[in-house]
Structure 1
Amino acid sequence: MNTIESVRVPVPDGELYAEVVGSGPPLVLLHADYLGVGMWDEQLELAADHRLIRYDARSHGRSTTAMADCRAEEDLLALLDHFEIGTASLMGNSMGGATTLTFALQNPERVDRVVLFGPGIPPVDFRDPFILEGHREQEAARQAMDIDRYVEAFLRIGVDGPHRRPDEVDPQIRARCRDMAMTTVGNHHTATGRLLERDVASRLAEIAAPTLLVVGELEATDLHRMARDAAERMPNAELVEMAGCGHMASMENPEEVNELIRRHLGG
């Protein structure tokens, strides 16, 4: 079995916590908001054919808390440069998908292939009443300084989705996501830096890297809308709907997801 190497990658005003495993063409894994490297445990088997690099974004997990405004795509560039990787395939979920798309737009020569799960497309435009209500609940929890209520609101939005009760979701997946989110909120609640966005939505047609878009059947309408828009406007994109899954399809159905990934990365 491949050994996972832990690395601290320097970035302006801080460090990123990263893990490296396997050998072969590089594949960088970018997690969803509030989560961390652990959301990709089910994809570690891909290290049989790829050099996997997964990392905690700034103000997440074991990476540095952002005390000044920053750009996630610039941190990704610093990570590739640190590992002396010229071109890599990128795989991102939600926030990680937004970073991936932004990076592919800004640095097309550094991107081979792309896999996206329910990606946000900056500037992210949320309209779904379910998501908007979840954000209101998070803000109320923040005002009350209630971390449990805050993280539960995230789980309802980002793990359960609008079509399932919490008890209808795999309890182990929900518990893992809760643990990662509690770590992120607990470690980084003092962050004062914002994650700055670029306009990707109006320039999707410029992203030519072969892209696999995966959206869970049970995701909110906003995620379906953004995935469809990307699939229609990106010149080399394929859209797959994952039956019976929500926003964390890579955790909920890893066998089918990993086969899709292998097929896409194999060209």
Structure 2
Amino acid sequence: MRDSPEIGKSIAAAGVRTNYHDMGAGSPVVMIHGSGPGVSAWANWRLALPELAKERRVLAPDMAGFGYSDGSKDGTYSLDRWVKQAIGFLDALNIEQADLVGNSFGGAISLALAIRHPERVRRLVLMGAAGLKFELTPALDAVWGYTPSVQNMKEIMGTFAYDASLLTDGLALMRYEASIRPGVQEAYAAMFPAPRQRWVDALASPEDRIAGLSHQTLVIHGREDRVLPLATSLRLAQLIPRAQLHVFGQCGHWTQIEHASRFVRLVGDFLAEADAAA
């Protein structure tokens, strides 16, 4: 295996050998990636990790079936399993409480974890988050229905970004190569088979439980997001009592990449408020 920046440390989390990145020192924040083909924690958070790590300890695991973590032994995946892995990750590292930053699919996991294990979460950041029921978008249907080819990867990445200049041939090739590593596409195909509306619903938490969250929550969305509708974040901000909402204009589903420096400042300032109050 070639050396890759996507490969970090390894730990067993609820029985899943989990690849993760661990940078900085101080108050811990766990960043949970999205569900695009060929994704990993590093691919998702590579611009934010070193910046946020200047002020705190930042951890970014590959969820089961993604990146360089192990897949499911029985070939099935569920929100319950991913939440269990995330809790197991905290337990394995002896972290009693952490801030959570969840992107898209990772937002659904973060939301469910905060609902089910509220004492383990200090503050919550939901970026372009799933976790509510909504009508499956054509873009998300294409993302989850990906079959490996460089052209397909280019087309899918084209739905993620508002700024087409970010979609280089090199980036598409890198993500394509990640998607065809042994076992990766098999795991990905097992997660979200058609019809895919059921997987949107399966990642959703009950609205009454969302409305019962007591955590300070930052909800972030790109105005031009074609993958996850802006309406989901508007609804989350309405439901969560202590939520604030930030919408980035001229931004698709890649807030942390398209507006990297602004994203880091926004999240860093939000988490620093809790540091100051501690």
The bucket for the TM-score relative to the shorter chain is 0.7 to 0.9
Structure 2 CA distance for partners of 1:5 and 1:33, relative to 1, 3 Å: closer
CA–CA distance in 2 between the matches of 1:137 and 1:33?
8
- Residue 246 of structure 1 aligns to a residue whose secondary structure is coil
C-alpha deviation, 1:266, in angstroms: 1.5
Indicate yes or no: 2:40 matched with 1:36: yes
Q: Is the 8 A contact 2:139 2:226 kept in 1?
A: no
1:126 CA drift (Å): 2.7
Quick one: percent identity of the two aligned structures?
20
Q: Is the 8 A contact 1:93 1:117 kept in 2?
A: yes
CA distance in 1, matches of 2:150, 2:64: 22
Amino acid at match of 1:238: Q
Q: How does 1:109-258 map to 2 (within 5 A)?
A: 109-122=119-132, 124-127=133-136, 131-132=137-138, 135=141, 139=145, 142=147, 146-157=148-159, 159-160=160-161, 164=162, 168-172=164-168, 175-176=170-171, 179-180=174-175, 182-187=177-182, 188-191=184-187, 194=191, 197=202, 199-202=204-207, 203-220=209-226, 222-258=228-264
How many pairs are equivalent?
249
**For structure 2, which runs of at least 5 residues remain unmatched after alignment?**
1-5, 193-198, 274-278
Q: Aligned partner of 1:211: which letter?
A: T
TM superposition outliers: structure 1 runs of 4+ over 6 Å = none
Q: Which structure 1 residue ranges, 5 or more long, are not aligned?
A: none
Aligned to 1:14: 16
One-letter amino acid of the counterpart of residue 77, structure 2: D
CA distance in 1 between counterparts of 2:7 and 2:139 reads 40
Contact 2:7 2:68 in 1 (8 A): no
Question: How far apart, in 1, do the equivalents of 2:214 and 2:180 lie?
Answer: 36
Which deviates further from its counterpart, 33-42 or 100-109?
A: 33-42
TM-score w.r.t. the length of structure 2 is 0.79
Write out per-residue CA displacement over residues 212-255 of structure 1, whole angstroms, 9 at most, x where no aligned residue.
11111211384211100000010111111112211111111111
